[in-house]
């Protein structure tokens, strides 16, 4: 921080000195001692503020670099997860029976292509509440017996098809995480 104390009074010379020297304050003679002390305190405060701003800017730049690195890792993990989910869905769709999975609230969290074709060919079932998405006979077969069933099986007639089904609970009776239903068409 620069202060000029001068008895020189040529205005253009003073202006040039201030502009070229990045002067914080210019004080002319005679100066007041309290004003000089205040200006020195102000210069010190400003210097500390500028130094703190530089330190913080450097810290932010470092954090931004770290954030870029973490975002790259997150992007890679998201790409890996997407590839894994795509592979899982392809595998899920290749199963020769219809498969529906429900979370513990009855939300459909998984459905393979065959299950979709068997019970709701024109609806997107994934992410829908079973109560809203499934036709009544299918819903009643899977959920009509109450949530206390650990496993159940049966047959139902639906939309001109004779379907057999099996339902299994996922998790323990103390910690139910959902249900898995399998469906297959039988020839009468």
- Under 8 Å between Cβ of 155 and 134: no
Asked if residue 86 is part of any domain, the answer here is: no
In a shared domain, residues 40 and 107: no
Q: Alpha carbon of 32 to those of 5, 38, 79, 162, 183: distances in Å? A: 11, 10, 69, 103, 95
In a shared domain, residues 45 and 100: no
Instruction: Identify the pLDDT of residue 188.
Output: 61
In a shared domain, residues 64 and 106: no
Residue 133 belongs to a domain with what CATH number? 3.30.450.20
Asked if residue 85 is part of any domain, the answer here is: no
Note down the domain range covering 148. 95-185
Asked if residue 83 is part of any domain, the answer here is: no
Which of 62-71, 75-84, 150-159, 179-188 is predicted most confidently? 62-71
Dig out the tokens for 113 from the structure: 């292509």
Which residues are CB-neighbours of 18 under 8 A, at least 6 positions away?
4, 26
Instruction: Identify the pLDDT of residue 4.
Output: 78
Domain boundary among 54, 69, 84: 69
pLDDT for residue 42 is more than 80 = yes
Which of 16-20, 56-60, 175-179 is predicted most confidently? 56-60
Confidence of residue 1 (pLDDT cuts 50, 70, 90): confident
pLDDT for residue 173 is more than 80 = no
Strands (E), the chain: 3-6, 25-28, 98-103, 108-111, 151-158, 161-171, 176-185
Secondary structure of 90-128 as H, E, C letters: HHHHHCCCEEEEEECCCEEEEECHHHHHHHCCCCCCCCC
Instruction: Identify the pLDDT of residue 31.
Output: 83
Asked if residue 181 is part of any domain, the answer here is: yes
Instruction: Identify the pLDDT of residue 52.
Output: 96
Give me the number of domains the chain comprises: 2
Instruction: Identify the pLDDT of residue 167.
Output: 92
Asked if residue 90 is part of any domain, the answer here is: no
Asked if residue 84 is part of any domain, the answer here is: no
Instruction: Identify the pLDDT of residue 54.
Output: 96
Asked if residue 87 is part of any domain, the answer here is: no
In a shared domain, residues 178 and 100: yes
In a shared domain, residues 158 and 102: yes
d(CA 78, CA 109): 19
In a shared domain, residues 10 and 49: yes
Percent of the chain surpassing pLDDT 90:
36
Q: Is the pTM of this model over 0.75?
A: no
In a shared domain, residues 179 and 99: yes
In a shared domain, residues 170 and 119: yes
pLDDT for residue 147 is more than 60 = no
pLDDT for residue 21 is more than 80 = no
Asked if residue 117 is part of any domain, the answer here is: yes
């Amino acid at each position: 921080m620069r202060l000029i104390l001068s008895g020189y009074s040529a205005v253009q010379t003073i202006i040039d000195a201030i502009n070229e020297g990045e002067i914080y304050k210019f004080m002319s003679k005679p100066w007041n001692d309290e004003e000089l002390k205040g200006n020195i305190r102000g210069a010190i405060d400003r210097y500390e503020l500028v130094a703190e701003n530089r330190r913080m800017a450097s810290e932010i730049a470092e954090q931004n670099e770290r954030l870029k690195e973490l975002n790259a890792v997150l992007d890679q993990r998201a790409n890996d997860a997407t590839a894994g989910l795509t592979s899982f869905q392809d595998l899920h769709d290749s199963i020769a029976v219809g498969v529906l999975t429900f979370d513990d609230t009855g939300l459909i969290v998984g459905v393979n292509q065959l299950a979709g074709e068997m019970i709701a060919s024109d609806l997107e079932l994934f992410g829908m509440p079973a109560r809203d998405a499934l036709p009544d006979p299918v819903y009643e077969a899977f959920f009509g017996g109450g949530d206390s069933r650990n496993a159940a099986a049966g047959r139902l007639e639906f939309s001109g098809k004779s379907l057999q089904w099996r339902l299994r609970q996922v998790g323990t009776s103390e910690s139910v995480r959902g249900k898995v239903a399998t469906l297959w068409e039988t020839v009468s």
